[in-house]
Amino acid sequence: MLVFCPNCANILTVSAVGSVRNRLECRTCPFEHPITAPIYSRREFERKEREDVFGGPGEWDNADKARAQCPKEGCNGDEAAFFQVQIRSADEPMTTFFK
């Protein structure tokens, strides 16, 4: 939880005064606030619905295909679909997704 200084709006940091009490203090102005009780904050966030990053179920229909025997035992699949996307910067190789 972040607490801000009421004078200069900077973040307050926790500092120990001796060994008994802690306080919130501002590093840019002389503001101090003694901590007399536990401070906590709890916030529930709403989860967003997941988006299909590959564009939905039809995205693999347009993917490049290659002949490759499936390594899974008992599978007779002989075709693999793949496509490449530049995810990171241009000086790094493209990322290949297989299915």
The response to whether 73 counts as a known ligand-binding position is no
Give the H/E segment covering residue 88.
none
- Angle at CA 90, nearest 5°, toward 88 and 91? 100
Annotated binding residue at 8?
yes
pLDDT value of residue 53: 66
Tell me: is residue 84 an annotated ligand-binding position: no
Please list the rounded mean pLDDT of every run of 10 residues in the chain (99 residues): 90 79 90 87 87 70 85 85 85 86
Long-range contacts made by residues 37-40, C-beta under 8 angstroms, separation at least 24?
A: 39/1, 39/3, 40/1
Total-model pTM: 0.41
Annotated binding residue 5: yes
* Domains parsed from the chain with CATH numbers: 1-41 (2.20.25.10), 57-98 (no CATH)
